[in-house]
Amino acid sequence: MSNSVTAQSVETTAQAFLRAIVANALVHFKEPAKMSELQDACHLPALDMDILRYTLGSNADLFTSTERRWTLSTRFEEATRPVHAVVEGILRNTGQPVALEPLAFLLAEVYHRAPQAMAVVIYRLSDEHFFRLPDNRIGLREWLLRTDYDSAEDVAFYNYVDFAEAQKLLRKHSKFDGSPESVVALLRQVGTPLSARLIAFLQWYRNPESFHALKAYQSLLDTEGVMTFPLQEANTLEPVAHWALTEWVPQWLEAIRPQARQMAGVLAQLMAEPLVLSVEDVENMVQHVLQSPGVVTAEELARRFFDLTSSDPTYANDLDTITLSLKHDERVMWLGGTRFTHKANLPAYLFEVPESLSFPEVQFYTEEGEPLEFDMEDEGLSGTLRSDILDPLAQDVGDEEEQEVTIFPIPESVQCVVKARHKEIGTFPLCQIPAGFFQKEPNFQQITLIDETTGDRYTEVYVNYSTRLLFGLLDWYATREAVSGLIFTLTRTDDPFVFKVRWEDALEPRVHISRSRYEELLDMSTRMAQSYSTFDIICEILSTHRGGMEFLSILSEVNVIRRTRRRRVAAVLSAFQAFYLRGGLWHLDEKKRDAGIDRAKRKHIKK
């Protein structure tokens, strides 16, 4: 007799359940399935790749793989086997009825016949070997209780049910009336799966006159929270169908998870195959990137299209294969590392220098027609201006020296000083960052900044070598009030596209502008930007700083009023007699404001 209420170990039950649930999912695929597709088809949120790989790898008699895709071994059965035997094997492994259509498609692979022809064969066989539900699902007749015997003892005996055990259950659960609700209550009280025929016997025993085997089975099959799967019992040759509650599944999966993780590495090694991409594979990945609204990573593509995870032995090489294939496709945009996107997903402003950072071409003249806007040869620059203009803080996007060499070794950290116009729009000039600090490729790359203090991550940050700008810093800048002169430290990490970032307490005094002074400069910009020469603008600035100003401070304030290149400011300071240098600071001599250009400097003015 079947000892249907002897509790199996949770691990054994979990293994049997997973074997059945995966088998049932695979039956419904017309072609071998990727692991990710199979994972989705099982409809189990807690089913991770380790458990799925463990289930597939530990049931080699039932599952087989081809080109990183999985199917039932049944697909490769000998065509000489009787059809009913093949169908019986499928149903025993799923432990539940299977629709006629997927059965027909699977058998069509085995017997090399049309699916429609095999559907007719299965349909005819169902009258003799199987039962058929109204929706054309096919099940094993042995799952139904046979009741055409003279006594209850005989019904139990010929259905492999322990009569004494059944009576004991009924005495203990006196409220059991055979309804689906009472079956659920019984299962919950017993706490373990019960064989389908034991449940059917209890239902018949309570209501022998009204009991209908097929209807009773279907009513349970359609009951929410109830499921059926095959479970091996000690004294049976084949697994026996059992009823169970779906609420037990999370517990089963957690019980099997440690074992699955322990075996994951071994199974991954056994299943390992280096990734070889076909033209179709590449096209599918490209289309996925083009249709995605955001960034797609090679890791995501590896999982989605090839069921690869970091536990796979060939994972690193496979990621390189995927990345390399997409880097060479002009339809997608490589953002660095393993990240790709459709360029249309990115706003156009990321690919051009913002208008507020452009330098307007202006020219003003003296009454004699002499130009007031000019540049000067380095030899004509006064004081320390020749070195001042080479300071990275003096340089800016569109006004910087060429970086001919990479600093070696590349520093682990760099200090960055934020100027007013960049603070307003969330940009930063690359001229302050040594060559080699960021990766050389690609020309446009996405990086991530991690705030060392708060842990906040800023992922929408971009390095554009064409525009020589960092974009996407507006949220980071918004965490500080100061307008200009803020200092932050950028530190490299093990990931070349991830950086730690930290605000420093101090401000850079040479470019710092207070909020009130900034408002004054904006007012001056409204009045002067279009109609004042650089000379006049500097005069206005120095007239409010009687104690003098450093070159960088003058340059910073001039650039709030109107974007002006450093060499232009240096040339004006050097050429006009109204300006003089004392103690490292530039001053305005109001008496010489109209004195014009120093004659000795004229020879150095560029024509």
Q: Quick check: 554 pLDDT over 50?
A: yes
**If you count DSSP H runs as helices and E runs as strands, how many of each does the chain have, helices first?**
22, 20
Cα 582 to chain centroid distance, Å, stands at 59
Q: State mean pLDDT over 31-35.
A: 87
CA distance 167 to 500: 70
Contacts of 505 (CB under 8 A, 6+ apart): none
Pairing of strands 444-451, 498-507: parallel
Q: Quick check: 546 pLDDT over 50?
A: yes
Q: For Cα atoms 485, 488, 491, give the angle at the middle one, nearest 5 degrees.
A: 155
Entry pTM = 0.65
Pairing of strands 339-341, 333-336: antiparallel
Predicted local confidence at residue 351, as pLDDT: 96
Question: How many Cα neighbours within 13 Å face the side chain of 538?
Answer: 33
> pLDDT band at 118, cuts 50/70/90?
very high
Q: Could you tell me where the DSSP H helices lie in 500-565?
A: 515-528, 534-543, 551-561
Work out the burial of residue 137: count CB atoms within 10 Å of its CB; fewer than 13 is exposed, 13-18 middle, 19 or more buried: middle
What residue type is assigned to position 175 of the chain?
A: K
Helix axes 298-306, 315-327, angle to 10 degrees: 110
Contact (CB, 8 A) for 340 and 289: yes
**219 three-class SS:** helix
Kindly report the CATH class assigned to 391-507. Answer: mainly beta
Give yes or no on whether 152-248 and 391-507 have one common fold: no
Q: Is the dihedral of CA 109, 113, 116, 117 positive or negative?
A: negative
- Per residue in 134-177, pLDDT (tens digit) is 999 999 999 999 999 989 999 999 999 999 999 999 999 999 99
What residue type is assigned to position 83 of the chain?
A: V
Token pair of 274 as six digits:
């280096």
Fold of 152-248: Arc Repressor Mutant, subunit A (1.10.10)
Predicted local confidence at residue 271, as pLDDT: 63
Q: Which of 541, 528, 428 is nearest to 486 (CA)?
A: 428
Contacts of 50 (CB under 8 A, 6+ apart): 257, 260, 261, 264, 311
Token pair of 525 as six digits:
């910009």
Predicted local confidence at residue 5, as pLDDT: 45
- Per residue in 564-591, pLDDT (tens digit) is 999 999 999 999 999 999 999 999 999 9
Token pair of 285 as six digits:
């990945």
Contact (CB, 8 A) for 534 and 568: yes
Q: Quick check: 276 pLDDT over 90?
A: no
> pLDDT band at 516, cuts 50/70/90?
very high
What residue type is assigned to position 15 of the chain?
A: Q
Q: Quick check: 404 pLDDT over 70?
A: no
CA distance 544 to 563: 20
> pLDDT band at 268, cuts 50/70/90?
low
Q: Quick check: 354 pLDDT over 50?
A: yes
Q: Which of 514, 511, 513 is nearest to 566 (CA)?
A: 511
Predicted local confidence at residue 270, as pLDDT: 61
Predicted local confidence at residue 241, as pLDDT: 93
SS (H, E, C) 447-462: EEEEECCCCCEEEEEE
CA distance 434 to 410: 8
- C-beta neighbour count of 378 within 10 angstroms: 13
Q: What is the DSSP string of 37-57?
A: HHHHHTT-TT--HHHHHHHHH
What residue type is assigned to position 145 of the chain?
A: L
Domain 279-345: give its CATH architecture. Orthogonal Bundle (1.10)
> pLDDT band at 6, cuts 50/70/90?
very low
Contacts of 258 (CB under 8 A, 6+ apart): none
Contact (CB, 8 A) for 290 and 343: no
Predicted local confidence at residue 309, as pLDDT: 80
The phi and psi torsions of 316 (rounded to 5 degrees) equal -60, -45
CA distance 37 to 284: 15
**Domain boundaries defined on the chain:** 10-143, 152-248, 279-345, 378-387+514-604, 391-507
Work out the burial of residue 45: count CB atoms within 10 Å of its CB; fewer than 13 is exposed, 13-18 middle, 19 or more buried: exposed
Predicted local confidence at residue 269, as pLDDT: 64
Contact (CB, 8 A) for 555 and 421: no
CA distance 197 to 217: 10
CA end-to-end distance (rounded Å), the chain: 109
**71 three-class SS:** strand
Strand partners, 418: 486
> pLDDT band at 8, cuts 50/70/90?
low
- Per residue in 212-229, pLDDT (tens digit) is 999 999 999 999 999 999
SS (H, E, C) 314-349: CHHHHHHHHHHHHHCCCCCEEEECCEEECHHHCCHH
> pLDDT band at 407, cuts 50/70/90?
low
Contact (CB, 8 A) for 90 and 137: no
CA distance 126 to 124: 5
Task: Report percent pLDDT > 70 for the chain.
Answer: 96
Q: What is the DSSP string of 104-141?
A: HHHHHHHHT--HHHHHHHHHHHHTTTEEE-TTSEEEEG
- Per residue in 446-473, pLDDT (tens digit) is 999 999 999 999 999 999 999 999 999 9
> pLDDT band at 1, cuts 50/70/90?
very low
What residue type is assigned to position 275 of the chain?
A: L
